């Protein structure tokens, strides 16, 4: 936590300097031109932008939007799977699912912390989520109807998340890129547990096989929508790629995901619900059917099967957890964290995110994350 505060203070000073020399809202002037040039050169050279570095306001805003949405998705994404913890068919499955859902809470915490280095606060981001002013991934507005959905989510939803997130480990913004390294390792475990769950069901009774197939049928298309709108309709894509926040387009990542899933589905003995899915020798990729973007837009607008339920539960968890936050704040006041890095040499402060993660891991459980 201390590292975040230090970053914010320094960054606030840096921004103050930038604003003092700014030429107005229409574009950079004077010293800002030099700062912009330094920023552009760093991005072009694949160097990392760090919290203390000057960055364009639009770059900062874009990162806050993306990282907040990512953090919210981790936290809201706990709900559909937590729905099955008490009904897991064995102690082993229950332990695995609990570990997985806890991982997602951890991902949310890393990402809120990483977003805080940009000058926003977790409180502000959560307020915006609860007011419907910041989004979370629309995939979590679908219900988990059977136990097989836990497998389909792990295999497809976490699988799509990995495909999206591995390139983010090379994102131009340092704290985001570093948070993604650890998150991706855990997502691999999530994907494999889902695959193994479906494999077990696929080798089970006809009823279990049918349940697995039904879950895959329901989750396949929403998983493809997770990559976002087609490239020509994606509002933020081109700019994000110029800034090297994103490294591949939505359609490129979606194609990669389809190509990965087809042989895995065959190995599982399951089919993917797309009659147009076939190998295209010429392209060296699988062709696939048209995605129903009307459904995607409807879910985005709040008309998915579970939008209201997810947000209501999130708000309630936040309100009911107020006493835990108060208690944690009082405890922190009485037992301040050791300031062992307060006067550390500059080279040590290059790795604040690592300390930040350890601090988060040792913080008493936060009720906000137990939605
Ligand atoms: Fe996650
Ligand atoms: Fe996950």
Task: Note the pLDDT tens digit of each residue in 71-102.
Answer: 999 999 999 999 999 999 999 999 999 999 99
Only one residue has tokens 């879910």, namely: 299
Ligand nearest to the CA of 97: 2
CB-CB contact of 230 with 251 (8 Å): yes
Least distant ligand from the CA of 100 = 2
pLDDT digits (tens, 9 = 90+) for 240-295: 989 999 899 999 999 999 999 999 999 999 999 999 999 999 999 999 999 999 99
Beta-strand relationship, 278-280 and 285-287? antiparallel
Distance (angstroms) between ligand 2 centre and the Cα of 335 equals: 33
Q: What is the pLDDT of residue 83?
A: 93
Q: Give the tens place of pLDDT for each residue, 19-75.
A: 433 334 445 566 789 999 999 999 999 999 999 999 999 999 999 999 999 999 999
Residues, CB-to-ion distance under 5 Å, ligand 2: 158, 187, 190
pLDDT at residue 231, as a whole number: 87
- Cα–Cα dist 197/211, whole Å: 12
232: pLDDT strictly greater than 70: yes
Rounded Cα–Cα distance for residues 253 and 160 (Å): 9
From the CA of 159, how far away is ligand 2's center (Å)? 8
Which numbered ligand comes closest to the C-alpha of 165? 1
Counting ligands in written order, the one closest to the CA of 159 is: 2
Give residue 210 CA to ligand 1 midpoint distance, Å: 28
Task: State the ligand closest to the CA atom of 109.
Answer: 1
Q: Which ligand is nearest to the CA of 187?
A: 2
Q: Which of 132, 152, 164, 175 is nearest to 8 (CA)?
A: 175
Report CA dihedral (324, 327, 328, 332) to the nearest 10 degrees: 170
Tokens of 225: 């929508």
Q: Give the separation between CA 361 and CA 267, rounded to whole angstroms.
A: 37
| CB neighbourhood size of 229 (10 A) | 18
Residue 348: is its pLDDT beyond 60?
no
CA–CA dist 294, 297 (Å, integer) = 5
Expressed in angstroms and rounded, the spacing between residue 40 Cα and the centre of ligand 1 is 31
- Note whether 263 and 63 are within 8 A (CB): no
How far is 3 from 1, CA to CA, in rounded Å?
5
Residues 97-133 pLDDT 10s? 999 999 999 999 999 999 999 999 999 999 999 999 9
pLDDT at 14 over 50: no
pLDDT at residue 8 in the model? 37
The alpha carbon of 175 and the centre of ligand 1 are apart by a number of angstroms equal to 16
Report how far residue 233's alpha carbon sits from residue 26's, in angstroms, rounded to the nearest whole number.
26
> What is the secondary structure of 279-309 as a DSSP string?
EETTTTEEE-PPP-HHHHHHIIIIISTTHHH
- When pLDDT is cut at 50, 70 and 90, the band that residue 343 belongs to is low
Exposure b/e, 288-310, CB count within 10 A at least 16 = b: beebeeeebeebbeeebebbeeb
Cα(325) to ligand 1 centroid in Å equals: 23
């Amino acid at each position: 936590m201390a590292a975040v505060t230090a970053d914010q203070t320094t960054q606030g000073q840096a921004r103050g300097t930038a604003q003092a020399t700014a030429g107005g809202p229409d574009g950079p002037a004077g010293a800002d031109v030099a700062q912009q040039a330094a920023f552009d050169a760093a991005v072009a050279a694949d160097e990392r932008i760090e919290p203390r570095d000057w960055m364009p306001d639009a770059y900062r805003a874009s990162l806050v939007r993306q990282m907040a949405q990512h953090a919210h998705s981790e936290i809201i994404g706990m709900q559909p799977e937590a729905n099955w913890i008490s009904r897991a068919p064995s102690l082993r499955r229950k332990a695995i699912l609990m570990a997985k859902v806890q991982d997602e809470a951890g991902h949310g915490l890393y990402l809120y912390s990483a977003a805080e280095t940009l000058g926003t606060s977790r409180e502000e981001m959560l307020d915006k989520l609860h007011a419907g002013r910041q989004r979370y991934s629309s995939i979590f507005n679908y219900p988990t109807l059977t136990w097989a959905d836990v497998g389909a989510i792990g295999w497809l939803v976490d699988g799509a998340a990995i495909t999206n997130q591995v390139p983010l480990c090379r994102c131009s913004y340092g704290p985001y890129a570093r948070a993604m390294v650890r998150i991706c390792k855990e997502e691999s475990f999530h994907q494999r547990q889902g695959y193994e769950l479906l494999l077990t069901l696929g080798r089970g009774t006809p009823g279990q096989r049918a349940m697995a197939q039904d879950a895959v049928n329901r989750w396949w298309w929403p998983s493809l929508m997770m990559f976002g709108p087609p490239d020509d309709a994606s509002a933020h894509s081109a700019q994000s790629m110029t800034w090297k926040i994103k490294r591949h387009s939505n359609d490129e990542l979606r194609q990669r995901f389809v190509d990965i899933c087809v042989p895995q589905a065959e190995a599982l003995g399951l089919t993917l619900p797309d009659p147009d899915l076939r190998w295209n020798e010429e392209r060296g990729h699988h062709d696939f059917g048209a995605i129903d973007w009307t459904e995607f837009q409807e879910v985005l607008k709040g008309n998915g099967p579970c939008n209201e339920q997810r947000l209501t539960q999130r708000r309630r968890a936040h309100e009911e957890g107020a006493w835990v936050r108060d208690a944690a704040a009082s405890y922190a006041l009485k037992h301040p964290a050791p300031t062992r890095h307060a006067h550390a040499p500059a080279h040590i402060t290059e790795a604040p995110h690592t300390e930040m993660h350890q601090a988060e891991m040792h913080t008493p459980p936060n009720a906000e994350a137990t939605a």
